[in-house]
């Protein structure tokens, strides 16, 4: 048996330690057949739903689309708010601004189209009163989403990815929703009923509202970009 004298350089030691972890690895399973199986289920369930109502099938399809897109892009609203402060990164913050800008344009087009044709404006149920409840609710939601490692959409996405922690988070999300619904009457009497709903076109006009909103979004984008550059330079 011959002994090999090895003078370990950093490169070879790196290679050898990774080679040893390579041999410990189990062979990777190919999950694509499972993926195709799940796709078949998604398609069949969609067809089943369409026998009840096409609208239900539509909600199923768009839900799957949202889930697919969120997972594929690793999109995370929680990170968009948390990372600027925790890690100095604002790439998701800026991506959220892009989403807000594009969606604003699309929604406004639809709303304005209805308006100038004398039709009722869709989606106005989302113009909700602003009160202490909005602020308090937002703050505790913000705390919750960072601690739980995911917001509402992120939690659903991570359940699909196999995270047990988010299954637990979802369970208590449901419980919290029920308790919130139970207490909603109190909040409504104390705060929400005294709040004001503000639809921006009522203040700025349709074009004005879009311009103002896009300007704010652009400003946040620029701020976020400069913030990340500042934090990167500080670290280096």
Partner 1 sequence: MKEVVLDCLGEACPIPLVKAENAIKDLSAGDVLIVQIDHSCAMKNVPEWARKEGHNVEIEEVDDGEWEVIIEKA
Partner 2 sequence: MPFLLLLKKIKEVISLDIKNNKYYKLWFKDPITYVMGAVLLSIFQIVTFAVTGNPWGVTGSLANWGAWILELFGGSVDSWSYFSTKSAQATLKSGFLNDPGSIRNLGVIFGALFSTLMASQFKIKKIKSKKQVIAAILGGFLMGYGARLAYGCNIGAFYSGISSLSLSGWVFGIALFIGAFLGSKLLVKYFM
Question: What part of residues 62-81 is at the interface with partner 2 (CB under 8 A)?
Answer: 62-75, 77-78, 81
Nearest to partner 1 of 2, 23 (CB atom): 23
Nearest to partner 2 of 16, 54 (CB atom): 54
What is the rounded CA–CA span in Å between residue 194 and residue 196?
A: 7
Which of 162, 234, 235, 236 touches partner 2 (CB under 8 A)? 162
* Partner whose binding site includes residue 26, from partner 1, partner 2, none (CB under 5 to 8 Å by kind): partner 1
Binding mask 38-67 for partner 1 (x = CB under 8 A): ------------------------------
Q: What is the DSSP letter of 130?
A: B
Contact predicate 197/128, CB 8 Å: yes
Which of 19, 44, 47, 175 touches partner 2 (CB under 8 A)? 175
What is the rounded CA–CA span in Å between residue 91 and residue 100?
A: 14
What is the rounded CA–CA span in Å between residue 98 and residue 225?
A: 13
Site residues for partner 2, 100-159, by CB under 8 A, read 100, 102-104, 106-108, 110-111, 122-130, 133-149, 151-159
Q: What is the DSSP letter of 28?
A: P
* Partner whose binding site includes residue 153, from partner 2, partner 1, none (CB under 5 to 8 Å by kind): partner 2
Maximum alpha-carbon separation in the chain: 92
For residue 78, give the nearest of 139, 146, 125 by alpha carbon. Answer: 146
């Amino acid at each position: 048996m011959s002994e090999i004298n090895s003078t370990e350089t950093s490169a070879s030691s790196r290679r050898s330690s990774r080679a040893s972890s390579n041999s410990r690895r189990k062979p990777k399973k190919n999950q694509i057949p499972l993926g195709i199986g799940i796709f078949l289920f998604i398609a069949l369930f969609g067809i089943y739903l369409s026998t009840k109502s096409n609208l239900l099938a539509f909600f199923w399809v768009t839900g799957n689309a949202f889930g697919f897109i969120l997972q594929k892009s690793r999109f995370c609203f929680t990170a968009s708010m948390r990372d600027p402060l925790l890690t100095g990164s604002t790439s998701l913050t800026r991506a959220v601004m892009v989403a807000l800008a594009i969606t604003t344009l699309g929604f406004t087009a639809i709303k304005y189209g209805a308006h100038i044709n004398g039709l009722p404006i869709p989606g106005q149920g989302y113009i909700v009163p602003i009160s202490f409840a909005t602020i308090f609710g937002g703050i505790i939601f913000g705390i919750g989403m960072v601690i739980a490692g995911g917001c509402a959409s992120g939690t659903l996405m991570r359940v699909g990815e196999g995270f047990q922690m988010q299954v637990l988070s979802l369970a208590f999300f449901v419980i919290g929703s029920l308790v919130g619904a139970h207490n909603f009457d109190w909040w409504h009497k104390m705060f929400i009923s005294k709040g004001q709903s503000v639809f921006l076109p009522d203040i700025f006009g349709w074009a004005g509202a879009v311009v103002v909103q896009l300007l704010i979004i652009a400003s946040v984008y620029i701020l976020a970009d400069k913030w990340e550059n500042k934090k990167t330079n500080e670290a280096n």
